[in-house]
Amino acid sequence: NIMGVTTFTNEYSSSVSPSRMFTALIIDSRNLIPKLLPKFVKDVNVIQGDGGAGSIEQVNFNEGSPFKYLKQKIDVLDKENLICKYTMIEGDPLGDKLESITYEVKFEGRNDGGCVCKMASSYKTIGDFDVDEEDVKEGRESTLGIYKVVESYLLENPQVYA
């Protein structure tokens, strides 16, 4: 079976500084996301490693989510350049058509002190299944939803991760 890889890119702009967004969404997300989105995310646990590159995290979802859990491996965690790369290796979002999804997230500064978050997601399919925009729309919208919740929390609480 030849596996296809389809990549989609996305950008999100924020008035919050890149380092605060990176800390909230990447470094401290396992504490922050369940706190801000308790209806959906129950908890996030490091099940292998120390939380850095090579670690594996399990995200457990609550009743409000269509999914039960997922596992992701952290491939790259570059705190200096604000880049994170991780791969979803197991869990309900993969279904029976996807082997894995790799995400690369990069936070870049803007002149006004805010940031641009650049996201690339690569879908590795099983067999000859093709991924199209519709298939990834829901995941992208939930990611943007999380970003907006985190951003408004950071704007309301300027002392957090300052």
- Within its chain, how far is the Cα of 61 from the centroid? 14
> Given phi > 0 = left and psi -120 to 50 = alpha, else beta, which region is 101?
beta
* Per-residue pLDDT reduced to its tens digit, 37-73: 999 999 999 999 999 999 999 999 998 888 899 999 9
- What's phi and psi for 29, nearest 5 deg? -60, -30
Q: In a 3-state reduction of DSSP, which class is residue 48?
A: strand
Give pLDDT tens digits along the chain (162 positions): 456 889 999 999 999 999 999 999 999 999 999 999 999 999 999 999 999 999 999 999 998 888 899 999 999 999 999 999 999 999 988 988 899 999 999 999 999 999 999 999 999 998 878 888 787 888 888 888 999 999 999 999 999 999
pLDDT at position 1, please?
47
pTM score: 0.91
Q: C-alpha distances in angstroms, 34 versus 14, 25, 106?
A: 21, 12, 22
CB-CB contact of 73 with 89 (8 Å): yes
Length in residues, the chain: 162
Instruction: DSSP letter for 27, please.
Output: I
pLDDT at position 3, please?
62
Burial 102-138 (b: 16+ CB within 10 A, else e): bbbbbbeeeeeeebebebebbbbbeeeeebeeebbee
